[in-house]
Amino acid sequence: MRVEVDQEKCISCGYCVNHCGEIFDWNTEHKAEEEMGIVPKDFEDAATDAIEHCPTDAILAINDAEDPWDVDTTRDQDQDSWILD
């Protein structure tokens, strides 16, 4: 799971920063932004809580499976080619 804060939608209410400070913090524009784009498993519940309570739906959750840049570049030894999921 990854998260991103839409800077245009954030109204600086502070919910995400106050309830999940490990993942979100203030930036120089006084808007929330993700401290860690990739949410560690231990913080997924807190991040989900912030997503659900953000009054403007500014926090986007991106599942790795939906991420077009999440490419498995494992080398296929038998076919001497790269495996791209």
Closest distance between ligand SF4 and the C-beta of residue 76, in Å?
A: 41
Asked if 83 and 76 count as a contact pair (C-beta separation under 8 A), the reply is yes
User: 20 to 79, contacts with ligand SF4 by CB under 6 A?
Assistant: 32, 50, 54-56, 58-59
Q: Which of 1, 2, 3, 12 binds ligand SF4 (CB under 6 A)?
A: 12
With CB under 6 A as the rule, give the number of residues binding ligand SF4. Answer: 16
- Sign of the C-alpha dihedral computed for residues 30, 36, 37 and 41 taken in this order: negative
Q: Which of 13, 36, 61, 62 binds ligand SF4 (CB under 6 A)?
A: 13
* CA distance linking residue 80 with residue 76, whole number of Å: 6
Of 12 and 74, the one with the shorter C-beta distance to ligand SF4 is 12
* CA distance linking residue 36 with residue 14, whole number of Å: 17
Beta-carbon count within 10 A of 38 CB:
11
Residues that bind ligand SF4 (CB under 6 A): 5, 10-17, 32, 50, 54-56, 58-59
